[in-house]
Structure 1
Amino acid sequence: MTMSGNGSPGRERPLRLADLARSEPGGSRPVPVPPPAPAAFAAPAAIAADRIDRIEAARAEFAALLGEFRRTAVLVPDDGRGGLWTAEQGGVRWICAFSDEAALARFALARGDAAREWPYRTVLGARLLDVMVPLLGVPAGVALDAGSPDGTLFPPVAGVVPETAVVDPGAEGTAKAKGTR
């Protein structure tokens, strides 16, 4: 597999799960980047303490979500070629997984492809992260319920995927999985 670098250094933006729903298998489409929100005015110490609290709360919430995902069987559509449905965005390959058939149906509807049959496999979340992500050989993660307001990303970072699949940013701004060449 080859990885296409559609993003350019210095032009990073948050990944929107709706982008994955509109992408073709193995492809990506650029989306305009909204300007950053203006910073709030407050005392620096109060801002720092509030940020630390919010970061700690977000980490705890993500850890609980990750644990639940790892223990849950999810639906992964077939790509029509015998593999798993993936989408590439920002130099990362995302395995698209769904919490239930209703979430998969919403994804198909968002793609404008709800009339066809969507064969899928049921896979344990831990197996996706621990086995399937490293097998891709490129920076990869899992997008749960892409195209949904409740969607979640499990990116290729330490603590989410095995060490060999953790993204190691290259000198030129290109993400590269540690276990790849």
Structure 2
Amino acid sequence: MSLADEVAAVHAGRPDPAALVGEFRRTHVLIPTVNDSLMSTELDGIRWLYAFTDEEALSRFALTRGGEPGAEWRYVTTSGARVLDVLIPACEGPTGVALDAGSEQGALFPPVAGIVPDSAAVDIPPSGISDAPHRGEG
């Protein structure tokens, strides 16, 4: 299935998380830029990079943000794999992806293991820190 089909399956209550992430990784997305920075927002301590499946989805988002119809928005095009494997780890703090934000068929890719590299995942403790109890102390 395509990325759009996988997202539709999630919205229909038939999610296949591995297939959804796999299709995102294989798909090229558009990431809007502002002043040479990737456009994002922050919510509850997580930065969300905006990514769009096509110019039409980006245009709809631009209109919801007060953009003029037909106004040009700058963006970069890259693979979903590059977003998850390179861009997310390079961001400061926890960062996920908001795909087709503002649309009825949007999806979130949170910064968790299995989506982003372990080094950028919020559900994996930093290297050298363990939640396991220490033995022989006390």
Would you say same fold, with TM above 0.5? yes
| TM-score bin, normalised by smaller chain | 0.7 to 0.9
Tell me how far 1:168 sits from its aligned partner: 4.4
Q: 2: distance between equivalents of 1:178 and 1:137? A: 15
Q: 2: distance between equivalents of 1:114 and 1:86? A: 20
**Number of the residue aligned with 1:158:** 113
CA contact (8 A) 1:105 1:114 kept: no
**Number of the residue aligned with 1:137:** 92
Aligned equivalent of 2:77, options 112, 122, 135:
122
**Amino acid corresponding to residue 60 of structure 2 in structure 1:** R
Q: 2: distance between equivalents of 1:151 and 1:178? A: 30
Equivalences for residues 29-40 of structure 1 within 5 A: none
Tell me how far 1:148 sits from its aligned partner: 0.5
Q: 1: distance between equivalents of 2:58 and 2:91? A: 22
**Number of the residue aligned with 2:134:** none
Aligned equivalent of 1:78, options 29, 33, 37:
33
Tell me how far 1:75 sits from its aligned partner: 0.5
How much is the aligned-residue C-alpha RMSD, in angstroms? 1.9
Unpaired runs of 5+ residues, structure 1, are 1-53, 170-176
Aligned pairs, how many? 114
Which stretch shows the higher mean deviation, 108-117 or 137-146?
108-117
Q: 1: distance between equivalents of 2:99 and 2:89? A: 17
CA contact (8 A) 1:88 1:94 kept: yes
Taking structure 1 as the reference length, what is the TM-score of the superposition? 0.59
Q: 1: distance between equivalents of 2:89 and 2:126? A: 10
Q: 2: distance between equivalents of 1:168 and 1:102? A: 34
Unpaired runs of 5+ residues, structure 2, are 1-12, 128-138
Identity of aligned residues (%): 54
**Number of the residue aligned with 2:59:** 105
**Amino acid corresponding to residue 88 of structure 1 in structure 2:** E
Structure 1 segments, 4+ long, off by >4 Å, are none
Q: 1: distance between equivalents of 2:17 and 2:100? A: 16
CA change 1:78–1:178 in 2 (3 A) is farther
**Amino acid corresponding to residue 48 of structure 2 in structure 1:** W
**Amino acid corresponding to residue 103 of structure 1 in structure 2:** A
Equivalences for residues 54-69 of structure 1 within 5 A: 58=15, 61-69=16-24
Going by fraction, where is strand more abundant, 1 or 2? 2
Equivalences for residues 11-22 of structure 1 within 5 A: none
